[in-house]
Structure 1
Amino acid sequence: MKYMLIMRATDEAYANMADVDFNEIIETMGKFNDELIRAGVLLAAEGLDDAGEGVVVDHGSEPPVVTDGPYGETKELFGGYYILNVASKEEAVEWAKRLPGAGAGFKTEIRRVTTIDEFPQDNPWIAKERAWREATGQL
């Protein structure tokens, strides 16, 4: 089963990280990523750029309104993610507990990633997506 580990932190937690040597952060995360790779569970992992560089598309009106980031409330920003292929939610939780650098002001949300097999297979759009996934080596 695929699970997404969504890393979130408060503004204060990000500010505290500013004092940590960047090479130290990269080495610590690299060692954790290597553990995930050696365990055969890592499918993807990415960090995100500063929220102030992003935009928000609000679909509450027509046409949708685009505003510069960060989002309205920045109490907990989504800073990056991992996608793991593990046997259970409990295993995903165990990996999340081991995330390096996480401390006060950091949280990891864990959500199962649904698969195409969970949708009605007789739907023509699902069939198109399945064909695309097969053609691109994603199935």
Structure 2
Amino acid sequence: MNPPKHHWDLDDSRFIEAFETGSLSPSLFNHEAHLRLAYIYLKNFGEELAIEKCCNGICEFDQLHGDGTKFHKTLTVASVKAVHHFMRKSKSATFDDFIVEFPRLKISFKQLLDQHYAFDLLNNAKAKSEYVAPDLIPFD
């Protein structure tokens, strides 16, 4: 079997397995794949455990496939919370339909976060290593 060229080439269970075992190619783990990971974990485990699994998993993935400096705690938690917010409004049964229903998650994610954070979230050292709650609009 040929290696996948896109995270869509893997069904949800194979995607999660590849991510959790570290066999998912880093080239496949783009922004959309991060959103998909959050969606699957939220669907299976609820918000609290999804946040924990995403944070631990992405941190480990970064250490395995990089130099361990890319993981951003607040960005990861905020991403899961944003996906969860839209999932509660969604009529979709699959991630494919969900991302079509809410394309802003994929194409204008930074603008979504800017509605919650007044400061430069991506370049804030404290926010990188620990969760910083929004200072504008809390996540519901």
Normalising by structure 1, what TM-score? Answer: 0.27
Higher relative contact order (CA 8 A, sep 6+): 1
Q: From the two aligned structures, give the one with the greater helix fraction.
A: 2
Q: From the two aligned structures, give the one with the greater strand fraction.
A: 1
User: Larger Cα Rg: Structure 1 or Structure 2?
Assistant: 1
